[in-house]
Amino acid sequence: MAQRSVDPRVKRAFSAMRELGISTETVKPVLKNLLKLYNKDWTLIEADNYHTLVEAIYELEDEKLRDQKRKGKWVGNVSEPPMKKIHARLEEYQNLDDEETDSERKSNVNGNTDFVVPVAMAHSGSLRVSSNANNSNYVNEDVTDDCLSESYWSCCEKNFNFMLLPSGDMKISSNSNRAAMQPTGFSMDMQSILKAVETKFLRSNASDGSPYSVVNLVKELCASYLKQIDGCTDQCLDSDCSRRRYLGVEGCNDISNGTEKVKILLVDDFSNEPVPEFTYIPQNTIYQNAYVHVSLARIADDDCCSSCSGNCLLSQVPCACARETGGEYAYTKQGLLKEEFLTLYISMELEPHKHYLFKCQDCPLERARNSCKPEPCKGHLVRKFIKECWRKCGCSMLCGNRVVQRGITRNLQVFLTKEGKGWGLRTLEDLPKGAFVCEYVGEILTNMELYERNKQTDENKRHTYPVYLDADWGSERVLKDEDALCLDATYYGNVARFINHRCHDANLLAIPVEVESPDHHYYHIAFFTKVKVSALEELTWDYGLDFEDQSHPIDAFECCCNSAFCRGMRREGSRSLVLYQG
């Protein structure tokens, strides 16, 4: 009888779990459940080195332990249940992952942590970092010597260890594996090792006269590695590598400083633009006077789903958290924003006049601008919120109604735009329509504080990164200053501060999301794709600017969005708003 071949993704998952000491028997049922849950969408399972899978196993095992304890059958070590150990391993594994490329991660997952370059192989063939299925653009391409400028070498040395083994072979491993290598070989500097390997080869194999160079081999390794970690294409590697510059003193750095689940690199392909000065924060932080009261007690019992468990999206009847979105969840089981919500938000963005514009009696924005004689309110669009399950809910962190709070999972990159917009954000992977990209993160300020900041800042350093949190100002007659909030990403922010404006046909939408505070004075602004976005496309957002408005104190920019619908190309004497509506 013909044997059914096992899906390679299943094999990879088993293998990755074995690395963590989790047996295939334990993984099988959990994986099966997750595949059912996610409609066989592997991206969610494979993301973050199978984080979801490990968490699910962890939860199931914990549940079993709790059950055994309840029944008085558990005889293990109270201080460290077995899955706790696995969890610790996972953390270790993910820390390790911070230092790795996708390809290295794959080789680790397959139990093949280091590259050993036997001299014979070094002679006969090319060494390549194995390919990453999602980023096939960046691998298995020819790499020229020109690509290897100083910065490449220093980056390579920073990220790899080169070691001469007693056999004369060379072992290359990522820096994170340094400790593991020590007992078996002699650690020396990279150049000496390359020389020694080459000498050994030439002594034993020189007879066939083939050209051989360990140096070239390692160059190739470095180039492949860099192409993988920063999404660099062959074109930019080949064209003018010396101009490529990586943020930081040397080597390649993650602008999030390890605070996000994924590395976010900043690349400058065109010039020596100064590196943006700001502090990366992955979550909003209160500046001073903003009143953001988060407490479990303030969440009413019927505003959460304490009796739920597991994944709310799988229950027959939507839970209380879906009430905000009309009794149905905003997300699909694949974790994407549902079509009908996208349509509604797109219409709000493109045709705001068709939606309810609330005009405050005593507008906090106008009050901040001129407290003695405020102008009439210009109106605020009343928006529909997404509400995610949160801590008072009984469901798990894997619940499908928790997307934004899980943070960035997509591969993103900050790059210098060539149209003169400054830095921008792009995706390094194809994104489906409705995918969560990132949250707009900054300091939480009252509008008064923002206004004061702007007054004190000189003309050239205007605060070009604030977003109003005015999506629900209509629900209160008079909003107190400490409740009328905005986010300013000028000094503290995340990747979203690099998202440039595009008139009308931007590919992202900003959507208000309630997570922990039911009153909607404070909420999250989350960016979702409104169309499919291809790898390397810039991510843009329509700031909703009125380029004709000349009344605002902050000077506008001349729009270079290149959209056919551009409404902001500088006309003589025009000024406009640089404050966005969230």
Ligand X SMILES: C[S@@+](CC[C@H](N)C(=O)[O-])C[C@H]1O[C@@H](n2cnc3c(N)ncnc32)[C@H](O)[C@@H]1O
Using the rule CB under 6 A, give the single segment among 9-17, 72-80, 290-298, 559-567 that binds ligand X: 559-567
Q: Which amino acid type is present at position 59?
A: E
Phi (first) and psi of residue 568, to 5 degrees:
-125, 20
How many CB atoms within 10 Å of residue 560? 19
Rounded distance between C-alpha atoms, residue 332 and residue 342, angstroms: 12
Nearest distance, CB of residue 549 and ligand X, angstroms: 15
Show Cβ contacts of residue 190 under 8 Å, excluding neighbours closer than 6 positions. 157, 160, 162, 218
Pairing of strands 386-387, 508-514: parallel
Rounded distance between C-alpha atoms, residue 363 and residue 498, angstroms: 29
Q: Which position among 464, 494, 507, 581 is part of the footprint of ligand X (CB under 6 A)?
A: 464
Which 497-556 positions form the footprint of ligand X (CB under 6 A)? 497-498, 500-501
Nearest Cα neighbor of 387 from 325, 448, 339 is 325
DSSP state of 470: -
Has 440 been annotated as catalytic? yes
Are 162 and 257 in contact by the 8 Å Cβ rule? The answer is no
Nearest distance, CB of residue 75 and ligand X, angstroms: 58
Rounded distance between C-alpha atoms, residue 251 and residue 153, angstroms: 8
Has 543 been annotated as catalytic? yes
Site string for ligand X, 104-123 (x = CB under 6 A): --------------------
**Of residues 340 and 555, the one with the C-beta less far from ligand X:** 555
**Of residues 113 and 494, the one with the C-beta less far from ligand X:** 494
Phi (first) and psi of residue 286, to 5 degrees:
-70, 135
How many CB atoms within 10 Å of residue 428? 22
Determine if 561 is a binding residue for ligand X (CB under 6 A).
yes
Q: Which position among 105, 263, 402, 421 is part of the footprint of ligand X (CB under 6 A)?
A: 421
Nearest Cα neighbor of 97 from 176, 21, 182 is 176
Evaluated on CA atoms 409, 413, 419, 420, the torsion sign reads positive
Nearest distance, CB of residue 250 and ligand X, angstroms: 23
Rounded distance between C-alpha atoms, residue 81 and residue 60, angstroms: 13
| Cα–chain center distance at 347 | 27
Determine if 172 is a binding residue for ligand X (CB under 6 A).
no
Determine if 490 is a binding residue for ligand X (CB under 6 A).
no
**Of residues 276 and 310, the one with the C-beta less far from ligand X:** 276
3-state secondary structure (DSSP) of residue 173: strand
**Of residues 275 and 286, the one with the C-beta less far from ligand X:** 275
Q: Which position among 557, 576, 579, 582 is part of the footprint of ligand X (CB under 6 A)?
A: 557
3-state secondary structure (DSSP) of residue 71: coil
**Of residues 402 and 501, the one with the C-beta less far from ligand X:** 501
**Of residues 375 and 555, the one with the C-beta less far from ligand X:** 555
Nearest distance, CB of residue 415 and ligand X, angstroms: 10
Show Cβ contacts of residue 542 under 8 Å, excluding neighbours closer than 6 positions. 349, 501, 502, 503, 504, 506
User: Per the structure block, which two tokens stand in for 173?
Assistant: 């491993």
Rounded distance between C-alpha atoms, residue 230 and residue 212, angstroms: 29
Nearest distance, CB of residue 525 and ligand X, angstroms: 12
**Of residues 330 and 559, the one with the C-beta less far from ligand X:** 559
Using the rule CB under 6 A, give the single segment among 133-141, 183-191, 376-384, 421-429 that binds ligand X: 421-429
- CB-count burial class (<10 Å; 0-12, 13-18, 19+) for 74: middle
Q: Which amino acid type is present at position 532?
A: K
**Of residues 535 and 577, the one with the C-beta less far from ligand X:** 577
Nearest distance, CB of residue 510 and ligand X, angstroms: 12
Q: Which position among 423, 473, 522, 523 is part of the footprint of ligand X (CB under 6 A)?
A: 423
Nearest distance, CB of residue 504 and ligand X, angstroms: 11
**Of residues 140 and 271, the one with the C-beta less far from ligand X:** 271
How many CB atoms within 10 Å of residue 257? 12
Nearest distance, CB of residue 497 and ligand X, angstroms: 5
DSSP state of 366: H
Are 379 and 357 in contact by the 8 Å Cβ rule? The answer is yes
Nearest distance, CB of residue 467 and ligand X, angstroms: 9
Using the rule CB under 6 A, give the single segment among 93-101, 335-343, 477-485, 492-500 that binds ligand X: 492-500
Q: Which position among 229, 535, 559, 577 is part of the footprint of ligand X (CB under 6 A)?
A: 559
User: Per the structure block, which two tokens stand in for 79?
Assistant: 């201080």
Position with the least CB separation from ligand X = 422
**Of residues 101 and 490, the one with the C-beta less far from ligand X:** 490
Rounded distance between C-alpha atoms, residue 186 and residue 346, angstroms: 61
Site string for ligand X, 233-272 (x = CB under 6 A): ----------------------------------------
What does each C-alpha distance from 123 to 19, 160, 162, 185, 506 come to in angstroms? 31, 21, 17, 21, 50
Determine if 217 is a binding residue for ligand X (CB under 6 A).
no
Nearest distance, CB of residue 305 and ligand X, angstroms: 36
Q: Which of 38, 225, 345, 440 is catalytic?
A: 440
Q: Which of 50, 492, 522, 543 is catalytic?
A: 543
Rounded distance between C-alpha atoms, residue 504 and residue 566, angstroms: 7
Rounded distance between C-alpha atoms, residue 156 and residue 104, angstroms: 13
Q: Which position among 194, 412, 509, 578 is part of the footprint of ligand X (CB under 6 A)?
A: 578
**Could you tell me how many residues of this chain bind ligand X (CB under 6 A)?**
16
Site string for ligand X, 273-292 (x = CB under 6 A): ---x----------------
Determine if 465 is a binding residue for ligand X (CB under 6 A).
yes
Enumerate binding residues for ligand X (CB under 6 A): 276, 421-424, 464-465, 497-498, 500-501, 557, 559-561, 578
Give the catalytic positions in this structure. Answer: 440, 543
